Structure 1
Amino acid sequence: MPFEPRNSRYEKKKKGFLKRDKPKVEPKKEVEKSSKVAPKRVKPDESSRAMQKEQPSITQTTSVNLPNGAETKAKSDLSQPVANPDSALKELKADQVSPMTTNQPDMRLTSSEALTVEHQTASNQVTPVSKTLSRRARLNEQKTGNHVMRSKKSSRKGKRTNNATAIRPVKKNKLNRGKQQRRPQMTAKNGKRRFVWIVLTLVVLLVGILGWRGISSYRQSNDYSAMQPKNGKKQEVYIPQGATVQQIGQILVNKHLVHSNKAFLHYVSTHDASNMLAGYYQLSPSMPMKTLVDHLLKGGSDTPVNHDMVLTMTEGEGIASFAKKVGNSNKFTESDFLAKVNDQTFLEKLAKNYPKLLTSAMAAKDTRYRLEGYLYPATYDYAQYQTVEDLITAMVAKTDSEMQPYYSKIKKSNMSVQELMTVASLVQGEGVGDKDMRIIAGVFLNRLDINMPIQSDVAIKYALQTDRVNLSVDDTMVDSPFNLYRNSGYGPGPMNNPSIQAVKAVLNPKDRDKKYLFFVANLKTGAITYTKNQKDHDEAVAKVDKINQGMENR
């Protein structure tokens, strides 16, 4: 048997301790120890108080003077197994305490207090009180303990419970202040690096895009190959009179005959091939750029291939000339066409449908044909028109459609539509190409501003109804309202049907500030000389007169 230190307190009470006699069993030894600790009462927490309301409290009272019979009965009861814990609790209303605590005041502990004392005195090796209780009491104590533990766990998770939630002190991180001070420096450094990378990326992308566009532009401007080398099917292409090189290139692009307008313009400028002629051409996608340009330099046909079913009015052509083409068809006659363009009832109907275009034309006097200048120069398939009236209506509607963007500008120019179309018809007959048309328009407008006669050969030819190239002095003296050598102003009206290009030239004249009042053309080369006074004009005429006199219509 291991050595056990003597306890003088127990030696006094146990007479047979040294003789190894069995001491008398005192049932509530544990209560002695707990009674020792009892003065240090711990305030029960709120959860244990709540459990006291739900469960009947088990009190432990002390009885000091017990009779010998009662003590013996108590011993025997403790040694016997408890059959009915509830009845046992009723009989044992009080617990015995050690004689050491007989003089102390009565201290009653509830089951939850006993459990609290058990936890607080565990370090002092105090025997739990619950061991002396009945089975139901121990179960209740167990439930109460679990409830307390759950309350502690729930309080740790931040849940609201009956127990007071423990507030943990927040430890300040000493490094936070340093990190907050260093973070802006690191952010600025990273921001600089990020900015540099973004700039470099953008520069690389920009250089790549510019390089790609440069290479693509170079390829486009130097691609003279055929669009479809194996496609030899020809298609009809119409190049209008007075079309610019850029307009011709766009026509070829629309017909899918060249890769781009840029390539066409580059070829024409590098091969000096700007003198292309108007007309109808039979071209195919298998032709390279050189073959296409050669065809355009030679000139095309005046009529389309399928001319039996179409009527073509060219730019600058008059109604009288077009009426002859109508008469050559198998459907309409020349006389029917000429009669309809001067039919007052029909004209009023058209003016009502197209007021912006024809109002000023209806008010004009001394005109030969009311609709002169308002039949749009284009190709028309007369097979789809039942009457001459349908054909003329289609031609007027086309003119109105092309003029729509310019009505507001015409109103600001202080010219009526009739006056504008008159100047445009003269420009159409005198000039070739956009540049010369705009300068000639400026010359005519300069003359009109100073009330000087326009003096255009186009007007004299219309008055005489002739196509002769060279006119005599007697021709310029003809008595006609269309003789703009003798009469100042605009005259009665248009002398032909101008293109929309001539209309735009009048609305956007060029070099008006140079005050040109005269011009003369070399009919062989097409070069035009512009002058500001009569003396310079006479000198320019003398230089080209011999060449022009040798030119005649064939």
Structure 2
Amino acid sequence: MSIEDKKAKKELIRQKMLERQSEARVVRKIVFIIAIILFIVGGVVAGGGYFYIKSAVQPKDPDNKKEKQVEIPIGSSTTSIGKILEDNGIIKDAKVFKYYVKFKNETGFMAGEYTFSPSMTMPEIIDSLKTGKVVDQVVFKMTIPEGKQLEQIADIIGEKTNKKGEDVFKMLNDKAFIESMMEKYPDLLTEEILNENIKYPLEGYLFPATYSFYKENPTVEEIVTVMLDKTSEVLKDYRPELEEKGWTVHQLMTMASLIEEEATEQVDRDQIASVFYNRIEAGMPLQTDPTVLYAQGEHKSKVLYKDLEIDSPYNTYKNVGLTPGPIANAGTTSIEAALAPAETDYLYFLATSTGEVLFSKTLQEHNQKKEKYITNTN
């Protein structure tokens, strides 16, 4: 190749490199311009979204104090409540309401007929929904005491609604009804309640409290929905402890029910809980009499030795560990004891005729107390 050809080739290569550098500069400029445009558009969208949301959480019409009655049906979700409020002109945007409630972690909304106005703020509306400030007067109240079992609760519901207790009880154990409740409360009613050894799936899940109703003869579904709402609301505060222990809701409700049934007014439930935990850790059966009575389906003041022989997964004299499910409904005190038992070495406890509960570390000590406080009083 001649010298002229080599020079021509080098010049061609140089020209191509210059062209590529020029193209690269153009590409970088285009990318930079696009980035600037996207940033500006993003800022406009974000800013617009911010101002829209800020506007949506403000009163729809601060000057309009005209009151309107709005009915929130039993079992309404946050989404449906937001839509009802938007449709009635109380709030600007149902979706913003939904996410506002979620962001604020608000729960426990109550059904009823409310009086709202477009001038109300979002916190005021939420406060009304939580406290149940409704237009209608309470038609009746229903109190479910702690420690009640599903059959007893069915009788209370029946008495308050002019229904037969046995019909209510049948409804509470209807497969389709239970599945519908599971679908409505997936974080509360899990597949664990359908275990083949479970006597009654909803046992222990209807929270003990006083409930107010605003119409005569509500359906069983409406009543149970209110009660499960309450259970969900109560357990919400204990979710962190549950996760820390690695327990399911079902295990918690089961342990809490055993504590509830063994407790008396004079005893600290956390000490009873400690006995149960210590026994489980030691591989010992819990040996708690209420489980035997539950297995028998009876309510007796005294358990006989022959009762302890019943063949049932609920019999904690024959089976190690927790029962398949709760044996009654438990209050917050028993739930808290189940989550935070006292630190003791106790393996036994004994209830005296006066209601006092005596704790022991050894079987010998337990038998001595039993001889002194139980045998000698019979």
TM-score tier by shorter-chain length is: 0.5 to 0.7
- The whole-number CA distance in structure 2 between the counterparts of 1:382 and 1:336 is 20
Q: In the alignment, which residue of structure 2 is the partner of 1:492?
A: 324
Q: In the alignment, which residue of structure 1 is the partner of 2:359?
A: 530
Count of matched residue positions in the alignment of Structure 1 and Structure 2: 240
How does the TM-score come out when normalised to structure 2?
0.59
Q: In the alignment, which residue of structure 2 is the partner of 1:520?
A: 350
Of 259, 267, 277, the match for 1:445: 277
CA shift, 1:340, in A, is 2.2
After superposition, the Cα gap between the structure-2 partners of 1:395 and 1:315, relative to the gap in structure 1 and judged at 3 Å, is same
Q: What percentage of residue pairs aligned between the two structures are identical?
A: 32
Question: What is the CA deviation profile of residues 494-523 of structure 1, one whole-angstrom value per residue up to 9, with x for unaligned ones?
Answer: 000000110001101112xx3211010113
After superposition, the Cα gap between the structure-2 partners of 1:480 and 1:383, relative to the gap in structure 1 and judged at 3 Å, is farther
Structure 2, gaps ≥5 residues long: 1-138
Q: In the alignment, which residue of structure 2 is the partner of 1:238?
A: none
SS, match of residue 493 in structure 1: coil
CA shift, 1:423, in A, is 1.1
Of 366, 370, 393, the match for 2:197: 366
SS, match of residue 355 in structure 1: coil
Please tell me the root mean square deviation across aligned C-alpha atoms, in Å. 2.2
Structure 1, gaps ≥5 residues long: 1-307, 550-554
CA shift, 1:457, in A, is 0.9
Q: Does 1:387 align with 2:237?
A: no
CA contact (8 A) 1:351 1:359 kept: yes
What is the one-letter code of the residue matched to 2:168?
Answer: F
Of 359, 374, 378, the match for 1:545: 374
Question: What is the CA deviation profile of residues 463-520 of structure 1, one whole-angstrom value per residue up to 9, with x for unaligned ones?
Answer: 1222222111001111111111111111210000000110001101112xx3211010
After superposition, the Cα gap between the structure-2 partners of 1:330 and 1:351, relative to the gap in structure 1 and judged at 3 Å, is closer
CA shift, 1:336, in A, is 2.9
CA shift, 1:447, in A, is 0.8
CA contact (8 A) 1:336 1:388 kept: no
SS, match of residue 319 in structure 2: coil
After superposition, the Cα gap between the structure-2 partners of 1:487 and 1:369, relative to the gap in structure 1 and judged at 3 Å, is same
Q: In the alignment, which residue of structure 1 is the partner of 2:22?
A: none
Alignment of 1:114-263 (within 5 A): none
CA contact (8 A) 2:172 2:178 kept: yes
Q: Does 1:333 align with 2:164?
A: yes
After superposition, the Cα gap between the structure-2 partners of 1:335 and 1:435, relative to the gap in structure 1 and judged at 3 Å, is closer
Alignment of 1:62-73 (within 5 A): none
- The whole-number CA distance in structure 2 between the counterparts of 1:429 and 1:507 is 16
After superposition, the Cα gap between the structure-2 partners of 1:540 and 1:373, relative to the gap in structure 1 and judged at 3 Å, is same
- The whole-number CA distance in structure 2 between the counterparts of 1:426 and 1:548 is 26
How does the TM-score come out when normalised to structure 1?
0.41
Q: Does 1:318 align with 2:149?
A: yes
Question: What is the CA deviation profile of residues 212-264 of structure 1, one whole-angstrom value per residue up to 9, with x for unaligned ones?
Answer: xxxxxxxxxxxxxxxxxxxxxxxxxxxxxxxxxxxxxxxxxxxxxxxxxxxxx
Q: In the alignment, which residue of structure 2 is the partner of 1:404?
A: 236
SS, match of residue 365 in structure 1: coil
After superposition, the Cα gap between the structure-2 partners of 1:376 and 1:419, relative to the gap in structure 1 and judged at 3 Å, is same
What is the one-letter code of the residue matched to 2:348?
Answer: F
After superposition, the Cα gap between the structure-2 partners of 1:547 and 1:368, relative to the gap in structure 1 and judged at 3 Å, is farther
- The whole-number CA distance in structure 2 between the counterparts of 1:362 and 1:529 is 34
Q: In the alignment, which residue of structure 1 is the partner of 2:184?
A: 353
SS, match of residue 441 in structure 1: helix
Q: In the alignment, which residue of structure 1 is the partner of 2:336?
A: 504
Q: Does 1:429 align with 2:258?
A: no
CA shift, 1:434, in A, is 8.6
CA contact (8 A) 1:427 1:502 kept: yes
Of 323, 333, 344, the match for 2:175: 344
Q: Does 1:455 align with 2:287?
A: yes
Say which structure, 1 or 2, has more relative contact order (CA 8 Å, 6+ apart): 2
CA shift, 1:544, in A, is 1.3
After superposition, the Cα gap between the structure-2 partners of 1:372 and 1:547, relative to the gap in structure 1 and judged at 3 Å, is farther
CA contact (8 A) 1:439 1:509 kept: yes
What is the one-letter code of the residue matched to 1:337?
Answer: V
CA shift, 1:370, in A, is 0.6
What is the one-letter code of the residue matched to 1:334?
Answer: G
Question: What is the CA deviation profile of residues 5-59 of structure 1, one whole-angstrom value per residue up to 9, with x for unaligned ones?
Answer: xxxxxxxxxxxxxxxxxxxxxxxxxxxxxxxxxxxxxxxxxxxxxxxxxxxxxxx
After superposition, the Cα gap between the structure-2 partners of 1:328 and 1:504, relative to the gap in structure 1 and judged at 3 Å, is same
